[in-house]
């Protein structure tokens, strides 16, 4: 399928790639809001992280594909609506269209107020899994972008330390490049098991990958 557009060649190439992307087509077929659902699906299927009855926190949730995937994992027979065995709390700086069974909070995770909102919603309970697809708006300046990415990952790790069960898991989007090795080291300092994964659903041209930390180290 070809796409006619008056935009620049780069945009035209991206649009063609997007429309012909098998994961985009699959997402449309299966009712996911974005192809990103399959990134979390691959990670979850590889490591068995999300199970019925769990409390899952989705950071950077909009448009909602990860929350949709989690919702189906927590539902009998993978239903997209109806009975839900577990709970999902989602947060994003942007608004998100409602998903049945998902409690959505709008706020900037970089601000203390957003973390406090989440803490209040947890009401003293600990999460089984925290997933983060957060990414900053990139400036194109490598050193500045690396710092922004690292800051969000560090905040997610801090949140997990405060609100994750001892045997729980954190899934974080990161990017290869400046600062990556330091983020891997951060995970190794905080978690007993650390798995870097690049799902097949991540585009080959993208430097994104995911770090999974399982089991907080004692004292964390």
Write out pLDDT tens, residues 1-37: 333 444 555 565 545 555 578 999 999 999 999 999 9
What's the mean pLDDT in 129-142? 86
Q: What are phi and psi of 152, to 5 degrees?
A: -65, -40
* pTM given for the model: 0.89
Q: Treating both helix axes as pointing N-terminal to C-terminal, what angle do 142-163 and 112-122 enclose, rounded to 10 degrees?
A: 30
- Indicate the burial class of 69 (C-beta count within 10 angstroms; 0-12, 13-18, 19 or more): buried
Per-residue pLDDT at 11: 65
What's the mean pLDDT in 115-130? 95
Per-residue pLDDT at 15: 52
Question: What tens digit of pLDDT does each residue of 83-113 get?
Answer: 899 999 999 999 999 999 999 999 999 999 9
**Residues with catalytic annotation?**
173
Structure token digits, residue 6? 């008056």
Integer CA distances (angstroms), 118 to 52, 106, 122, 134, in order:
21, 10, 6, 16
Distance from chain centroid for Cα 216: 19
Question: What tens digit of pLDDT does each residue of 139-185 get?
Answer: 777 778 888 889 999 999 999 999 999 999 999 999 888 889 999 99
What's the mean pLDDT in 194-214? 92
Beta strands, E only, the chain: 55-59, 87-92, 102-106, 127-132, 164-175, 191-197, 208-216
Q: Label residue 82 by pLDDT band (50, 70, 90).
A: confident
The whole-angstrom separation of Cα 14 and Cα 9 is 9
Q: Label residue 220 by pLDDT band (50, 70, 90).
A: low
Residue identified by tokens 């990952």 is 153
Per-residue pLDDT at 18: 55
């Amino acid at each position: 399928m070809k796409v006619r557009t008056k935009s620049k060649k780069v945009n035209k190439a991206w649009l063609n790639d997007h429309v012909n992307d098998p994961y985009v087509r699959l997402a449309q077929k299966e009712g996911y809001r974005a192809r990103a659902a399959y990134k979390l699906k691959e990670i979850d299927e590889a490591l068995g992280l999300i199970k019925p009855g769990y409390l899952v926190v989705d950071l950077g949730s909009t448009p909602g594909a990860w929350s949709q995937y989690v919702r189906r994992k927590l539902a009998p027979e993978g239903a997209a609506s109806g009975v839900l065995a577990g709970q999902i709390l989602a947060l994003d700086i942007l608004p998100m269209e409602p998903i049945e069974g998902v409690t959505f909070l709008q706020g900037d995770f970089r601000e203390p107020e957003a973390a406090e909102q989440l803490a209040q919603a947890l009401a003293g309970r600990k999460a089984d899994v925290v997933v983060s697809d957060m990414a900053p708006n990139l400036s194109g300046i490598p050193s500045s972008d690396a710092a922004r990415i690292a800051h969000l990952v560090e905040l997610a790790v801090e949140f997990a330390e405060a609100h994750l069960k001892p045997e729980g898991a954190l899934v974080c989007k990161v990017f290869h490049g400046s600062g990556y090795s330091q983020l891997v080291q951060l995970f190794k300092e905080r978690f007993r098991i650390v798995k870097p994964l690049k799902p097949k659903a991540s585009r080959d041209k993208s430097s994104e990958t995911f770090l999974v930390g399982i089991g907080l180290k004692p004292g964390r």
